[in-house]
């Protein structure tokens, strides 16, 4: 009897466990562009176009490899609208009663598949380095989960940058050589250009017609949409940007969205690249003397450390994780996250490039848009939905721990030991945004004061009970307490007035 093999939009990998265990001669691969997936948040049009074009090309690739593929386009009249409904329709078409699938990266879809009235086999997603079990065993009995220790285990497991049992260079982490501010006039190649082929052109037309109101510009479209393109992007990064990746990974420059970042997160997460092949290529660049250890180690840590760690947390913590709100933040997400005008240049730059490119790099996500939402006390569920919608690399397993955990501290400290909050001084040090801002980063009170300066104290005082005892935050409270009483009152009153104006929709 025919068996269906489900391949989801972020499972575009030849070595996918479901494909490995399936039989080309008898099984039918099911792939479907469906409204339910395209609409669970208002995804950026570029994200939808990237995924649909990549899905169509992967289906063509599978057919060329001898697979029978039942592919449903979004506009097909018989499209049943969701993954479960498409499976049932195809099961009827082919007389199939069972489905082989690789576990989806989201609880919502795992539960939906488990409810499908067909015999469902969910295989582990072995494109990741750590299994759920391995992460559980690692996490068990630990007072706190800290990425750095998990990362060392992943280094040992993969043998990446290892010299026997010791890390190459004698240290696990070279971050003290990193985190430099960049200068606007340095050379940066950015990601390689793409050609719009007929499959992509058709998808771009479909997306423009079906999602005209979604936040984000579709043209010019800049992402690769197949494995060859993704490999090209990786090679381009390794030869052009990797050497400076480490030193400038936290820098932000107006008008330069990419700096020395790889811009491969979307390819990794859709399955067009695998984490181990990326890390091995990067390690090779070090062994060949093409890139320094601080860059190579820092980059590999992001992938075998952070990427694997956040996935472990997502599955360990369970389906309620994205809805957590440990700090009880209830403010509505301001309209300027969806493109309304703001006088804060850093926010305007980060949101503007997000709108245009479906991309912002880590520090923009963490220390600009994330930092502001946390300081202002925005409801983390709304922040989560925004990030899930607007970035081309966003899927819940990776987005939620980064947003709900790392950026909003809404998990109460599972991902991070303290909240990532900073005043405007950090943004000023790491970027050139403040130079052309309406607000003055040096002003701590008054109309012209940088809102990050005001809200920083407001946040700390709002949550004094929770954070004062944290040894890594005690110094901040001492600094506040040393201010004279009048100044303390003014800062907090100015912050309240700012939040009030913002929540009433005034231009801030």
Nearest to 444 by CA among 436, 435, 434, 454: 454
407 binds ligand FAD (CB under 6 A): yes
- Cβ atoms of 5 and 19 within 8 Å: the answer is yes
**In angstroms, what is the minimal distance from the CB of 491 to ligand SF4?**
15
Q: Which is nearer to ligand SF4, 269 or 349 (CB)?
A: 349
SS (H, E, C) 457-506: HHHHHHCHHHHCCCCCCHHHHHHHHHCCHHHHHHHHHHHHHHHHHHHCCC
Member of 98, 302, 422, 445 binding ligand FAD (CB under 6 A): 302
Q: How do 162-163 and 166-167 pair as beta strands? A: antiparallel
499 binds ligand FAD (CB under 6 A): no
Residues near 201 by beta carbon (within 8 Å), at least 6 away in sequence: none
Q: Which is nearer to ligand DLZ, 8 or 99 (CB)?
A: 8
Dump the DSSP string for 67-100. -EEEEE-TT-TT--SSHHHHHHHHHHHHT--EEE
d(CA 362, CA 356): 17
387 binds ligand DLZ (CB under 6 A): no
Interface positions with ligand SF4 (CB under 6 A)? 344-346, 424, 427-428, 433-434, 437, 439, 441, 450-452
**In angstroms, what is the minimal distance from the CB of 344 to ligand SF4?**
4
Closest CB to ligand DLZ belongs to which residue?
9
390 binds ligand DLZ (CB under 6 A): no
* Pair of tokens at residue 78: 């018989």
Q: Which is nearer to ligand SF4, 312 or 424 (CB)?
A: 424
Q: Which does 87 bind (CB under 5 to 8 A by kind): ligand DLZ, ligand SF4, ligand FAD, none?
A: none
315 binds ligand FAD (CB under 6 A): no
**In angstroms, what is the minimal distance from the CB of 257 to ligand FAD?**
10
* Pair of tokens at residue 475: 């110094």
Peptide bond into 220 cis (omega under 30): yes
What part of residues 104-123 is at the interface with ligand DLZ (CB under 6 A)?
104-106, 109
Q: In what order do the strands lie in the sheet with 68-72?
A: 68-72, 28-32, 3-6, 98-102, 119-123
**In angstroms, what is the minimal distance from the CB of 502 to ligand SF4?**
12
Q: Please report, for residues 45, 86, 357, 419, the alpha-carbon distance to residue 39 in angstroms, rounded to integers and kept in the order given.
A: 11, 16, 19, 31
62 binds ligand DLZ (CB under 6 A): no
Q: Which is nearer to ligand DLZ, 83 or 218 (CB)?
A: 83
Residues that bind ligand FAD (CB under 6 A): 261-265, 268-269, 299, 302-303, 306-307, 310, 361-362, 365-366, 370, 387, 391, 393-394, 398-399, 402-403, 406-407
């Amino acid at each position: 009897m025919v068996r269906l093999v489900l391949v989801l939009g972020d499972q575009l990998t030849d070595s996918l466990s479901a494909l490995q265990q399936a039989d080309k001669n008898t099984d039918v691969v099911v792939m479907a562009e469906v409204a339910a997936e395209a609409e669970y948040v208002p995804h950026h049009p570029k994200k939808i176009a990237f995924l649909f074009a990549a899905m169509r090309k992967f289906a063509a690739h599978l057919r060329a490899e001898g697979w029978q593929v039942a592919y449903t386009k979004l506009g097909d009249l018989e499209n049943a609208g969701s993954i479960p409904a498409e499976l049932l329709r195809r099961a009827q078409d082919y007389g199939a009663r069972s489905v082989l699938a690789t576990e989806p990266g989201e609880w919502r879809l795992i539960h939906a598949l488990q409810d499908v009235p067909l015999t469902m086999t969910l295989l582990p997603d072995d494109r990741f380095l750590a299994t759920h079990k391995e992460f559980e065993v690692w996490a068990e009995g630990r007072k706190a989960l800290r990425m750095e220790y998990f990362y060392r285990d992943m280094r040992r497991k993969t043998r990446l940058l290892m010299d026997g049992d010791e890390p190459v260079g004698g240290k696990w982490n070279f971050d003290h050589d990193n985190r430099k501010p960049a200068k606007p006039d340095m050379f940066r190649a950015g990601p390689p250009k793409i050609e719009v082929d007929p499959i992509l052109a058709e998808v771009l037309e479909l997306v423009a017609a079906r999602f005209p109101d979604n936040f984000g510009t579709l043209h010019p479209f800049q992402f690769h949409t197949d494995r060859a393109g993704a490999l090209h992007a990786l090679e381009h990064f390794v030869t052009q940007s990797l050497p400076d990746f480490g030193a400038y990974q936290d820098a932000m420059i107006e008008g330069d969205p990419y700096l020395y970042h790889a811009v491969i997160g979307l390819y990794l997460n859709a399955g067009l690249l695998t984490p181990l092949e990326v890390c091995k290529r990067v390690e090779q660049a070090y062994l060949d003397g093409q890139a320094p250890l601080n860059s190579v180690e820092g980059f590999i840590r992001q992938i075998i450390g952070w990427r694997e760690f956040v996935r472990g947390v997502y599955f360990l913590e369970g389906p309620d994780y994205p809805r957590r709100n440990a700090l009880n933040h209830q403010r509505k997400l301001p309209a300027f996250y969806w493109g309304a005008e703001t006088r804060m240049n850093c926010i305007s730059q980060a949101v503007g490039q997000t709108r245009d490119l479906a991309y912002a790099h880590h520090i923009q996500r963490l220390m600009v848009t994330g930092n502001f939402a946390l300081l202002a006390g925005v409801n983390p569920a709304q922040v989560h939905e925004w990030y899930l919608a607007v970035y081309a690399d966003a899927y819940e397993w990776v987005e939620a721990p980064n947003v709900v955990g790392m950026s909003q501290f809404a998990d109460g400290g599972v991902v991070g030991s303290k909240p990532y909050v900073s005043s405007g001084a950090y943004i000023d040090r790491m970027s050139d945004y403040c130079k052309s801002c309406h607000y003055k980063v040096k002003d701590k009170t008054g109309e012209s004061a940088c809102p990050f300066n005001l809200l920083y104290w407001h946040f700390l005082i709002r949550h004094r009970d929770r954070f004062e005892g944290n040894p890594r935050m005690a110094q901040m409270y001492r600094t506040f307490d040393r201010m004279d009483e009048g100044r303390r009152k003014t800062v907090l009153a100015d912050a309240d007035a700012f939040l009030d104006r913002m929540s009433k929709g005034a231009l801030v």
